[in-house]
């Protein structure tokens, strides 16, 4: 077998701090190396990289035929490389462990893992071995979005300004929520109110938690949670007033509100009066998810 096709036998492991990592933090890790045969390395390096996935339209011409398609691309938003080992002769049975500290920029984007949007963080430890195949050990890292503080009163509600109203000829809809800044995995509470102006019918009344994602030219909208407040059918008459409390669950996934040149994640709460063969009556409020 040609030597450059041979991959030396060695165990390379990456050990990370258990703490949650945020932009601006120092990432402390330790690299463990246990060779199971003797060989020489030029160097050992570890790279921290943040990669964004996006789509863009690409036009190609073959002969007289021109086609346009939406193609997937990747872009490095951040990359940092550190050396943890110099030229070294390794022998079977020895064990090396090296600490490495790497700083994540304060303005770095968080991990985003959605249906369309994708921003990933990865650690790649590498042993550069002359005349043989290099050894790589990779590990993904979740960089969390920094939470934004929101003042909460003794009842768990924040400022009354966390409400929005939409008015039509039929009624005035008001959507109120206890906070517009919330973390993944948490519950959001609110009320939907309807002040009726004239008679109309609806099939049902519901609220939805929706997330819109964008990655270049590709986008998607997903209902992450919903709650039917009144199953109907319902008839409303002039001067009627209705109020429905609700609760919605933010998914416990790394899909925070974010905006880069190519990636966007936006969350909102929608109150909807579903009408048959007519335009729905609705009101919506944007929220920040971290």
Across the chain, mean pLDDT equals 92
Chain centre to alpha carbon of residue 93: 42
Enclosing H/E stretch for 95 = none
> What pLDDT is attached to residue 222?
98
The whole-number average pLDDT for the span 64-88 is 93
Instruction: Rounding to the nearest 10 degrees, give the CA dihedral for residues 177, 180, 181, 184.
Output: 60
Q: What is the pTM of this model?
A: 0.86
The whole-number average pLDDT for the span 98-106 is 95
> What pLDDT is attached to residue 134?
92
> What pLDDT is attached to residue 149?
52
CA diameter of the chain: 87
The whole-number average pLDDT for the span 171-189 is 96
Chain centre to alpha carbon of residue 97: 33
Residue 288 neighbours by CB under 8 Å, 6+ apart = 148, 180, 181, 182, 257, 267
Q: In which residue are the tokens 């590498």 written?
A: 126
Q: Worst-scoring range by mean pLDDT, 48-52, 74-78, 139-143, 230-234?
A: 230-234
Does 155 have pLDDT greater than 60? Answer: no
> What pLDDT is attached to residue 18?
77
- What is the band of 152 on the pLDDT scale with cuts at 50, 70, 90? very low
Q: In which residue are the tokens 């997937």 written?
A: 72
Does 91 have pLDDT greater than 60? Answer: yes
Domains of the chain: 3-141 (2.60.40.640), 163-289 (2.60.40.640)
> What pLDDT is attached to residue 263?
97
Does 128 have pLDDT greater than 80? Answer: yes
The whole-number average pLDDT for the span 91-101 is 93
Does 1 have pLDDT greater than 90? Answer: no
Does 208 have pLDDT greater than 60? Answer: yes
**Residue 221 forms beta bridges with which residues?**
212
pLDDT in tens, 158-168: 454 699 999 99
- What is the band of 7 on the pLDDT scale with cuts at 50, 70, 90? confident
Residue 261 neighbours by CB under 8 Å, 6+ apart = none
> What pLDDT is attached to residue 3?
53
Length of the chain equals: 290
């Amino acid at each position: 077998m040609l030597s450059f096709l041979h991959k030396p036998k060695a165990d390379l492991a990456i050990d990370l701090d258990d703490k949650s990592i945020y932009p601006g933090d120092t990432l402390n890790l330790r690299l463990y190396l246990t060779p199971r045969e003797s060989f020489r390395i030029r160097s050992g390096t570890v790279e921290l990289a943040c990669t964004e996935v996006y789509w863009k339209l690409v036009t190609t011409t073959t002969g007289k035929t021109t086609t346009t398609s939406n193609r997937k691309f990747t872009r490095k938003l951040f990359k940092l490389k550190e050396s943890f080992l110099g030229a070294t002769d390794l022998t079977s049975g020895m064990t090396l462990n090296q600490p490495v500290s790497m700083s994540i920029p304060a303005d770095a984007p968080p991990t985003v893992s959605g249906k369309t949007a994708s921003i990933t963080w990865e650690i790649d430890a590498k042993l550069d071995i002359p005349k043989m195949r290099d050894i790589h050990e990779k590990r993904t890292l979740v960089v969390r979005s920094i939470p934004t503080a929101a003042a909460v009163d003794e009842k768990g509600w924040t400022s009354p300004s966390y409400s929005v109203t939409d008015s039509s000829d039929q009624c005035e809809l008001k959507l109120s929520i206890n906070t517009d800044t919330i973390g993944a995995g948490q519950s959001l509470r609110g009320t939907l109110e309807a002040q009726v102006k004239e008679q109309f019918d609806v099939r049902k009344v519901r609220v939805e938690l929706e997330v819109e994602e964008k990655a270049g030219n590709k986008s998607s909208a997903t209902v992450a949670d919903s709650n039917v407040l009144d199953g109907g059918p319902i008839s409303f008459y002039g001067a009627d007033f209705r109020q429905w409390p609700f609760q919605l669950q933010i998914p416990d996934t790394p899909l925070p509100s974010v905006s880069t040149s190519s990636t966007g994640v936006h969350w909102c709460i929608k109150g909807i009066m579903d009408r048959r063969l007519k335009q729905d009556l609705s009101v919506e409020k944007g929220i920040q998810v971290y």
